[in-house]
Chain A
Amino acid sequence: MSVFQDTHEMKEASTGSLVAVVAIMIASALGFTLMTAPFEKLLGPGGGALPAALHGMMAFLYLFVGTIGLYLGWRLMTGHIRAFADLQLLSVVAATFSFLAICFGNWLYIFYRAPIPDSPRSYFVKNIPAVHGVFFEFKEFGALFTLPLAVCAAFILWRYGLQALERRWLRYSVAVLFGLAFFYLVVAFGLGAAVTKLKAA
């Protein structure tokens, strides 16, 4: 039996206004931080302090978005999603954060593998070889997997639109993409945080 009903929703804030609010909040936080604290001390003494901060920030934001995406992906898979438009938007944001985290990760990698005795890689190879040889190597490749997965999910959600809801296997497939992207994100994030804790670039 099919049950149809009209949902009378309150008028929602536009995407532009939401982006503006987020931008103002971030700018306020940055402004207060810069006015009240020595920025270079906040970043740290290493040469790779700035790319490390940006890479970490993008990865952290992606972790937030990825967690929400995982939940909405689960709702999509079970066929109980009502926030489909939110999932569409979120998928693009997730893909963007994945791309930015990889770009800043590339920049940071230059400092990580610098051919000097004090670089993290030199330190790990000399003192704890497994950290570089196993965990960092796996992290650097696993992190790249998040981009095709996130882009693929975003593409399918936008290209198929509401038709994705009507096709069971397409719903399952997109949910799997969100799940896999989250898995590689958590692996990369966890190992990256651990490596940074041991020896920051």
Chain B
Amino acid sequence: MTPTMVEAKVNEKNVEVAWTPSGRAPVPGGVAAAAFMAAMLGMLTLAVVNVFTASFKTFNAWVFGIGKLWMPGAEGIGPYSGKETLALAAWLGSWVILHLVLRKKDVEISRCLIVFLIGVGIATTLIWPPVFEHLAGWIGGAH
């Protein structure tokens, strides 16, 4: 059995973690940053696509068509199937790209977390119906 170390960390007050020393090479912060940013982009895509489907009927129909391309039961699910599809594509697609770009870079996780929280906050605000309906009316009315 591998022994477990209990270490009191000097530079962090009252911090104590149980861990088994790893012989693996340090993983760069860019790997986590890519995962965070991709998740945020997926959530933002869902929110933004939803605003625009509420704004434009033609875009709504196109989004519905995307869902019908592959999702079982999309006919019954409606445009929601396309919104899910686009969010999924944005999330996984951006993750692959960002991972390839950032995987060897030592990105600061603290900055990444702040950007992530701002993005998630915007996405959450945009999916609140009174907000997205108001925005959709404003965007749709402007064209």
Contact = CB atoms under 8 A, between A and B. Distances in A.
Interface of A: 1-9, 11, 78-82, 84, 106-107, 109-110, 113-114, 133-134, 137-138, 140-142, 144-145, 148-149, 151-152, 155-156, 159-163, 165-170, 172-173, 176, 180
A71 to B, nearest CB: 16
Interface string B1-26: 10111111110101111111110101
Contacts of B14: 78-79
Contacts of B124: 142, 145
A2 B10 contact: yes
B127 A142 contact: yes
Interface in B102-116: 108-110, 112-113, 116
Contacts of A8: 1
Instruction: Sort chain B's interface into a size bin.
Output: 35 or more
B15 A9 contact: no
B12 A168 contact: yes
B4 A6 contact: yes
Interface string B27-44: 101011001101100110
Contacts of A170: 29, 32, 109
A168 B3 CA distance: 23
SS class, residues of chain A in contact with chain B: helix
B135 interface: no
Interface in B88-131: 91, 108-110, 112-113, 116-117, 120, 123-124, 127-130
Contact of B39 (A151, A166, A167): A151
A126 to B, nearest CB: 18
Nearest to A107: B73
Contacts of B43: 145, 148
Given A152-B36, A159-B27, A173-B113, A81 B17 contact: yes
Contacts of B35: 152, 155-156
Contacts of A11: 1
Given A3-B8, A4-B7, A155-B35, A137 B129 contact: yes
Given A78-B14, A106-B84, 17 more contacts: A7-B3, A9-B4, A80-B15, A81-B18, A82-B18, A84-B18, A106-B73, A113-B77, A133-B133, A141-B127, A145-B120, A148-B43, A156-B35, A159-B27, A160-B27, A170-B29, A180-B120
